[in-house]
A and B are shown apart, each in its own frame.
Chain A
Amino acid sequence: DTGVSQNPRHKITKRGQNVTFRCDPISEHNRLYWYRQTLGQGPEFLTYFQNEAQLEKSRLLSDRFSAERPKGSFSTLEIQRTEQGDSAMYLCASSLGLELNEQFFGPGTRLTVL
């Protein structure tokens, strides 16, 4: 299966620690998206890459959050100085760079900040 993969699937950390998540998109997809989903809510857009360029960032993405996609393939999302409010499911999706192409979602990384 060559779908979108995310690692780790679960992460438990203490408040104030840094965490990093990885997303591996479908290989030929040049667009990559990060979303955050809290319990009982739909995904909220965080940021989007076209190849290695980060083209859009949500206001939800505070200075403690940073995302990279260094070679236009996998991406990492880092959260510095985690807070309890960061506890959520972090979803990654990828798509071909054509108009309205379907986004394929990964299974997500569930973050719990104690």
Chain B
Amino acid sequence: AQSVTQLGSHVSVSEGALVLLRCNYSSSVPPYLFWYVQYPNQGLQLLLKYTSAATLVKGINGFEAEFKKSETSFHLTKPSAHMSDAAEYFCAVRAGGQNFVFGPGTRLSVLP
């Protein structure tokens, strides 16, 4: 069975600082991995996805993530945080079928 863990339910960074949101997955087959962002009162929006091509994936709004098979990780990073990045971030895995498994989410706060 697939599962996703996200270390840290709440992460705070200063504006301009590095953003690092952690995601580890468990999958019995080669996974497809996703990061979504959710702003208050809005639907989830896809940031980026890994589909077994390049291990370093670039997404929207300056975010990127690196797939590391040996560590079963897919951490999300952004070099410089902006106030508008404050939101909830979800990592998800799809391994077979159309059943997407989401992690519990990490709430990112950006301090001025």
Cα A105 to Cα B92 with chains together (Å): 14
Cα A103 to Cα B49 with chains together (Å): 11
Cβ of A43 and Cβ of B98 under 8 Å apart?
A: no
Cα A35 to Cα B43 with chains together (Å): 12
Cα A105 to Cα B47 with chains together (Å): 13
Cβ of A43 and Cβ of B45 under 8 Å apart?
A: no
Report the minimum CB–CB distance from A89 to chain B (whole Å).
10
Closest A residue to B88 by CB, please name it: A42
Report the minimum CB–CB distance from A27 to chain B (whole Å).
17
Cα A68 to Cα B86 with chains together (Å): 36
Cβ of B49 and Cβ of A43 under 8 Å apart?
A: no
Q: Which of B42, B94, B98 contacts A55 (CB 8 A)?
A: B98
> Is A58 engaged at the interface, CB distance under 8 Å to the other chain?
yes
Report the minimum CB–CB distance from B4 to chain A (whole Å).
8
Number of B residues, CB within 8 Å of A: 24
Cα A81 to Cα B41 with chains together (Å): 27
Interface size class of A (residues with CB under 8 A): 20 to 34
Cα A107 to Cα B42 with chains together (Å): 5
A43 CB contacts on chain B under 8 angstroms: 44, 90, 100, 102
Report the minimum CB–CB distance from B108 to chain A (whole Å).
15
Cβ of B43 and Cβ of A106 under 8 Å apart?
A: yes
Do A100 and B98 contact each other (CB < 8 Å), given the known contacts A42-B105, A91-B43, A107-B42? no
Closest B residue to A57 by CB, please name it: B99
Q: Which 3 A-B pairs have the closest CB atoms?
A: A42-B102, A105-B43, A105-B44
Q: Apart from A45-B99, A45-B101, A103-B44, what are 13 other A-B pairs with CB-CB below 8 Å?
A: A4-B43, A42-B4, A42-B103, A42-B104, A43-B44, A43-B100, A91-B43, A91-B44, A93-B44, A102-B49, A105-B43, A105-B44, A106-B43
Write the residues of chain A forming the contact surface with B, with a CB cutoff of 8 angstroms: 3-4, 31, 33, 35, 40-45, 48, 55-56, 58, 91, 93, 100, 102-108
